[in-house]
Chain A
Amino acid sequence: MTLAGLTLAQLRERWFANTLHVLMLAIGVAAATALLLFTAQTEDRLSRDARGIDLVVGAKGSPLQLVLSSVFHADVPTGNVSYADYERLTRDPRIQAAIPLGLGDTMGGSRIVGTTPAFLPFYGASVAEGRMFAAPMETVLGAETARRLGARLGQTFPSAHGLGEGGDVHEHGGYVVVGVLAPTGTVLDRLALTSLESVWKVHDVSMPVGNERIGGLQGPALRPPAPAPLQGDPHRHDDAHDHGAPGAPESAMAMKEVTAVLVRTRSPIAGPRLKREINQTTALLAARPADEAARLFSLVGAGAQAFRLFAYVFIAAAALSVFATLLASLTDRRGDIALLRTMGATRLGVFGVLLGQGLVIAGLGVALGLGLGHGLLHAAAQVSAQARGLGITGAMIHPGEIWIVIGGLGAGALAALIPALDAYRTDIAKTLAEA
């Protein structure tokens, strides 16, 4: 039996109160850990999604909404941009790459992005299986989408209108899977890519996309191409599906539209100038994903701050409770301390017994809390597709956790410090004479 053994034996003697302390501390540590992992993983994910995109150009509206819808694929679009505007952008010498996006439909819950084959090099993504889409109504699935749908090459999936659940199913022949992308760890994994022509083909003149989900607003229609030199069959919009509204003006058919354009500039300093120029001189909206992501973090940050405070309060409450219990038990055990001293324990030894009790409680609480925190995120990723979509996982250790460990152990040590000092200073003879 050592002093360390005695430390544990005395903890066991008050196992009920000490178990409560451990649990309390664990809750605080778990909250802090889960929060840290969640914010770190979310920020990491969002910055990866936005990497390499200097500007997003879309219809006038909220810049945050434009970035959310076109970069993070998490909101509805602000509206549409004419194909001519997109072509004008591609001709700007300051722009290295401009990738058009046609949004508005989903396939088995995954968003369909109409775009051009240049989309893949833009994101640095590659086809792992099959090939890139070529003809209309061909699709290349993101890795997660393919996994979730259990899709095989050659399989056909119907698409549904709208970005939410329960949109009307389009009555076209469906999309044929011709390829699957290699996992990227970005939002790409959750998308389904196809050509702009496919999106145009599925939507005819009157089918609105865009803001229809918010308050029933009718966004501008994503219009199919008119007979245009760049396009193939000019009659493709006259195919079998019949959700077209009668009486759509023929002149509108001459307009092709895209939802937004992702832009990479040749030089990093061109971005802000181009943005100002577009916003001031055109009817379009340009937004920088980096700015909007930062704004998003500051919004989320306020909530995270409140949650963090909750975690700290819990840790502090646990420390106070440990303090109160140790101090109370010290009154009972002063005789034990005097006795230990008469048996040869030094002041430092009895100091260590008390401090050790605080540290053991803190150590168990921190260990349990870290486990709970990681487990919580793991469970969230199992249960919530959104969490999974954000790349949330419990199986990741963040370097910041070392501060949680230090903070938790520090709280335990601090709680035990005053009782331990009290034990250190115990006057043996006086204590022995009292009892």
Chain B
Amino acid sequence: MSTDPIVVLEGLRVARGGRTVLDLPDWALPPGGHAVLLGPSGSGKTTLLHCIGGLIRPDAGRVRIAGRDLADLSGGALDTFRGQTIGIVFQTLRLVRALTVTQNLQLALRLAGKPQDAARVHDTLTRLGVAHLADRRPHRLSVGEQQRAAIARAVVARPALILADEPTSALDDANAAAAAALLKAEAEAVGAGLVIATHDTRIAGAFAHVLRLETRA
């Protein structure tokens, strides 16, 4: 495994409509490190997560993921790099309605440029306890089951970095802790770095790395 930090942020600044929404000191996450981006709503957590994921380009500063400066990657190459390197769990989960749980995972493998590995798909679903739902379409699953399926999809292609946006905000204390633990366990299982954006201070204690964001006036 590379000893480069999995995430490096240098002088990152993002403005929206002339207003600075994000202005960060330099920050880095070692490979396989787990971090939370902690801050209240509107503090720019999602914006930062999108910067790390290469979904938006910062107005100033650099984002380096697994040693690659995202600014060096043009559109299509960035999409491909993202697919191969990063797995994302969204707050609203975003499983593809038209596909079964298994097909959602297979699509993730395909888009990550990984071979279709039925055993890997099955193992991942089994570890997350949703193997029995493999052939169901997402809307037939409970929210908790959907969240496990979404985590499975984020990790199935063995990404180097997993990003999660507010994965616990809708859950009660016990489930929030369980979800955070699940993410950590899955990230560990594939040796991935993990960055969770949350305003949920309940789970922050479990993480070695915390990046606090302030609400900007």
Contacts and interface: CB of A to CB of B under 8 A. Distances in A.
B92 A435 contact: yes
B92 to A, nearest CB: 6
- Give the one of B46, B86, B110 with max A CB within 10 A: B110
Interface string B89-116: 0101010111100011011101111001
B94 A335 contact: yes
A344 B82 contact: yes
- Give the one of A341, A349, A429, A433 with max B CB within 10 A: A429
Given A5-B103, A9-B99, A344 B79 contact: yes
B97 A336 contact: yes
Nearest to A433: B46
Nearest to A2: B110
Interface string A331-362: 00001101111111111110000000000000
B59 to A, nearest CB: 13
B50 A432 contact: yes
B88 interface: yes
Contacts of A6: 96, 98-99, 107
Contact of A1 (B47, B75, B90, B106): B106
> Contact residue range for chain A?
20 to 34
Contacts of A238: none
A168 interface: no
Contacts of B53: 342
B98 A342 contact: no
B84 interface: yes
B169 interface: no
B25 interface: no
Given A336-B94, A339-B90, A347 B103 contact: no
A38 to B, nearest CB: 41
B112 A343 contact: yes
B98 A346 contact: no
Contact of A345 (B79, B99, B103): B79
Contacts of A348: 76
B96 A336 contact: yes
B111 A343 contact: yes
Contacts of B108: 343
A10 interface: yes
A165 interface: no
B79 A12 contact: no
A146 B47 CA distance: 86
A428 interface: yes
B50 A345 contact: no
B74 to A, nearest CB: 11
Given A1-B107, A9-B103, A429-B56, A344 B98 contact: no
Contacts of B80: 344, 346
B79 A346 contact: yes
Contact of A341 (B46, B56, B79, B84): B79
A239 interface: no
A128 B87 CA distance: 79
Nearest to B46: A433
A3 B111 CA distance: 8
Interface in A3-30: 3, 5-6, 9-10, 12-13
B96 A342 contact: no
Nearest to B114: A344
A339 B96 contact: yes
Contacts of A1: 99, 103-104, 106-107, 110, 116
B107 A432 contact: no
A9 B98 contact: yes
Contacts of A341: 55, 79
A344 B111 contact: yes
- Give the one of A3, A335, A342, A428 with max B CB within 10 A: A342
B83 interface: yes
Given A345-B111, A429-B56, A10 B88 contact: no
A346 B75 CA distance: 8
A347 to B, nearest CB: 6
Interface string B41-56: 0000011001001011
A338 B201 CA distance: 29
Interface in B194-209: none
Interface in A383-435: 428-429, 432-433, 435
Contacts of B88: 342-343
Contacts of B107: 1-3, 5-6, 340, 343
Nearest to B137: A13
Given A2-B110, A5-B107, 15 more contacts: A1-B106, A1-B110, A3-B107, A6-B98, A9-B98, A12-B98, A335-B92, A336-B96, A342-B53, A344-B82, A344-B83, A348-B76, A349-B111, A432-B90, A433-B46
Interface of A: 1-3, 5-6, 9-10, 12-13, 335-336, 338-349, 428-429, 432-433, 435
